[in-house]
Structure 1
Amino acid sequence: MLFAILLPGISMMFRGHFLKGLLCGILHVTLIGWIPAAIWAVASYNEDQAEKRHRETLAALRRQSR
């Protein structure tokens, strides 16, 4: 998560969001844009984590119902 705050564009690219990462990187270049870019990257990171937990829960439920 610290990586998402310090280098938001690269953080998004590493997680597979290339276009979002590029836009976030351009936003990060400006001093005023760094704060919204960091917030966006952290929100995206949290969303990816929630999606991962959701998939794991669904997989566990499918295994349990068999």
Structure 2
Amino acid sequence: MRLLIALILPWLTFFTIGRPIAGLVCLLLQITVLGWLPATLWAVYALSQYTTDQKIARAMQR
């Protein structure tokens, strides 16, 4: 679900993973038409890093 959000509303992805300042910067980038693609790529990358960090944290707790 977050991946779909990252593709449609990239700035919202950052708010769902707890990075509101990055979300605001991404929103400013997304406002420009040329910034939509970099904002989407940045959101997808940040989401993949977030899920990796969550997996590592779960593995360390075991």
**TM over 0.5, yes or no?**
yes
Match of 1:44 in 2: 46
Question: Quick check: 27-36 or 9-18, which moved more?
Answer: 9-18
**Unpaired segments of 5 or more residues in structure 1?**
61-66
- Provide runs of 4+ in structure 1 moved above 4 Å: none
Question: Where is the helix percentage greater, Structure 1 or Structure 2?
Answer: 1
Q: What amino acid does structure 2 have at the position aligned with 1:21?
A: G
User: 1:22 aligns to what?
Assistant: 24
Q: Indicate the structure whose relative CO is greater, using CA pairs within 8 Å and at least 6 residues apart.
A: 2
| Structure 2 residue aligned with 1:53 | 55
Corresponding pairs, count:
60
Q: CA RMSD in A?
A: 0.7
Query: Which of 31, 34, 38 in structure 1 is aligned with 2:33?
Result: 31
| Bigger CA radius of gyration | 1
TM-score normalised according to structure 1 size: 0.86
What is the distance in 2 between the residues matched to 1:10 and 1:55?
23
